[in-house]
């Protein structure tokens, strides 16, 4: 029974975090430095989400040729910069990943 | 097609490629939850009650370890702290909406929905259809996540293959971030945030992600004051 309580409490807390600034908007005037941050949020947050996946293997920094995800990720960054297309980027990244995995 | 449904489907389409990564993730969650001793009904319902992948994995792990309830709730919340950043980012675009829309979009505000919608939201600032784009992306992720966890719980460990499909998620985030890097400051923010996230990856409950993003954001704002004002 307590598992359900934990689930509902964790769900409520998660919801409250996601709602936080959406609910506050219009009720207070955020400081100007905070507003200046906002355009950079997607870059800062999404990059932080990606780099550990590319550079770490089981928590260890791995920059060698054997880290397939690092090189496949770099290929994807190249494709994304070149064509700015989501499907091409995913396709290029997977092609590189599988090629490295098969050859390794 | 009406403007609303056009915006909705734009959000759905932007999210669809991520399902390649979300599906295996959700299936694995279903399997891990059962292995952690969580009953099938609770494992499936958690996907709509908590609706946050990394929190759900963590809750399953902590349940298996017999962790105290308060710790489980706190940890699940801390893992999602970064979502407050997304909330701040989209809040100005949702300012005019009625409360029920704000509640709905907050419930659906995940990494994936935010990432899928934000390039479109930034491309048309002040668009009266912004909430439909976010709703399309959020709903598409929600539906996929429910199906995936159900599949994981029902099919269990019988599912085959390791094609590293989870890699679709970082690849999609790359596809979204790279086109946003339009000047030196944006590139610097990405480099700092990315490097710090790797350095701080050892912090528990994904706190490293949150701290790295915050530190990079602080850096982004400081020179702007001196230079442009």
Q: What is the mean pLDDT of chain A?
A: 92
Q: Are B189 and A44 in contact (CB under 8 A)?
A: yes
**Six-digit token string for A49:** 């989400």
**Six-digit token string for B79:** 């893992």
CB pair distance less than 8 Å for B63 and A3:
yes
Q: Are B136 and B120 in contact (CB under 8 A)?
A: no
Residues 6+ apart with CB under 8 A from B144: B15, B19, B22, B23, B26
- Which ipTM score applies to this complex? 0.90
Among B44, B45, B54, residue whose Cα is nearest residue B75? B54
User: Which stretch, A53-57, B32-36, B52-56, has highest mean pLDDT?
Assistant: A53-57
Contacting residues of A for B59, CB less than 8 Å apart: 6-7, 10
In chain A, what percentage of residues exceed pLDDT 70?
99
Contacting residues of B for A86, CB less than 8 Å apart: 14, 17, 172, 175-176
The shortest CB-CB distance from A89 to any of B63, B171, B189 is to: B171
| pLDDT score at B158 | 64
pLDDT digits (tens, 9 = 90+) for B69-115: 988 898 888 889 889 999 999 999 999 999 999 999 999 999 999 99
pLDDT digits (tens, 9 = 90+) for A67-99: 999 999 999 999 999 998 888 999 999 999 999
CA distance A6 to B75: 11
Size of the A and B interface in Cβ pairs below 8 Å:
255
| pLDDT score at B169 | 83
Contacting residues of A for B84, CB less than 8 Å apart: 17-18, 20-21
The residue in chain B having the minimum alpha-carbon distance to the alpha carbon of residue A27 is B95
pLDDT over 60 at B229, yes or no: no
Average pLDDT over every residue of A30-55: 90
The residue in chain A having the minimum alpha-carbon distance to the alpha carbon of residue B182 is A81
pLDDT digits (tens, 9 = 90+) for B150-180: 999 998 766 555 667 778 888 988 998 999 9
Q: Does A76 touch chain B (CB under 8 A)?
A: yes
CA distance A60 to B202: 10
């Amino acid at each position: 029974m307590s598992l359900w309580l934990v689930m509902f409490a964790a769900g409520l807390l998660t919801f409250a975090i996601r709602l936080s600034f959406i609910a506050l908007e219009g009720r207070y005037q955020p400081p100007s430095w905070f507003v200046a941050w906002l355009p950079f949020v997607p870059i800062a947050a999404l990059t932080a989400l990606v780099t550990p996946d590319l550079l770490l293997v089981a928590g260890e920094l791995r920059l060698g040729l054997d880290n397939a995800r690092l090189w496949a990720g770099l290929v994807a960054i190249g494709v994304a910069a070149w064509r700015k297309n989501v499907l091409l980027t995913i396709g290029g990244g997977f092609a590189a990943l599988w090629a490295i995995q098969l050859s390794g | 097609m009406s403007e609303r449904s056009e915006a909705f489907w734009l959000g759905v389409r932007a999210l669809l490629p991520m399902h390649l990564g979300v599906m295996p993730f959700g299936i694995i969650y279903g399997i891990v939850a059962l292995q952690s001793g969580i009953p099938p009904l609770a494992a499936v319902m958690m996907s709509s009650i908590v609706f946050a992948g990394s929190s759900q994995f963590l809750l399953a792990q902590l349940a298996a370890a017999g962790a105290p309830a308060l710790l489980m709730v706190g940890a699940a919340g801390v893992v999602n702290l970064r979502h407050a950043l997304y909330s701040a980012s989209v809040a100005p675009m949702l300012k005019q909406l009625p409360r029920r829309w704000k509640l709905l979009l907050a419930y659906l505000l995940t990494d994936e929905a935010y990432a899928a919608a934000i390039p479109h939201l930034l491309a048309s600032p002040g668009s009266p259809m912004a909430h439909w784009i976010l709703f399309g992306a959020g709903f598409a992720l929600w539906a996929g996540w429910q199906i995936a966890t159900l599949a994981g719980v029902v099919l269990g460990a019988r599912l085959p293959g390791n094609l590293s499909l989870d890699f679709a998620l970082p690849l999609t985030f790359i596809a979204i971030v790279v086109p946003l890097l339009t000047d030196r400051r944006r590139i610097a923010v990405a480099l700092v945030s990315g490097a710090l996230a790797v350095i701080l990856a050892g912090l528990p409950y994904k706190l490293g992600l949150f701290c790295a993003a915050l530190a990079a954001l602080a850096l982004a704002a400081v020179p702007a004051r001196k230079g442009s004002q």
